[in-house]
Amino acid sequence: TFLKKNLYIEKAFYFIGYTEDRNCTRYKELRRIGFTLCLRKPVQRFIYGKKEIKANVDSNLITHSLIKINKYDKAVIVAGDGDYYFLAKYLLRNNKLHRLLVPCKSDCSNLFKNNIFRNHIAYLSRMKKALEK
């Protein structure tokens, strides 16, 4: 797979909110390409009168990463929002961050544009052709 060939990833976790159909095509495809799914039931809430469904997997990913820190060599975080800044910084300082993969430069939080991440950040939009293979 792309992850194994290009990033040397042996085991990949995908934190995602699940739908009622746990066997949907999306989940099957993610499992097929090698992800271990960490599913979380979404919560329904109303913000300013609009219905919003969120799984809030951020805390699961952060907690899992820290609990298992002695069981992996390096971590790859696929996200661009600043919610993972402190986790990425902690992993970097403890020599546990391999790569921070951001969908595209415009999705990248200014927090990650800091010089400390310059050798660890990559943009998936620049890898599009390799990912499609």
The DSSP secondary structure of 52-92, one letter per residue, reads: EEE---HHHHHHHHHHTGGG-S-EEEE--SGGGHHHHHHHH
Q: What is the pLDDT of residues 26-84, one digit of tens each?
A: 888 888 877 888 888 888 888 898 988 888 888 999 999 999 999 999 998 888 888 89
Which pTM does this prediction carry? 0.77
Residue 22 pLDDT grade (very low, low, confident, very high; cuts 50, 70, 90): low
What is the structure's pLDDT at 130? 59
What strand order describes the sheet that includes 75-78?
A: 75-78, 97-102, 121-123
CATH no. for 2-132: 3.40.50.1010
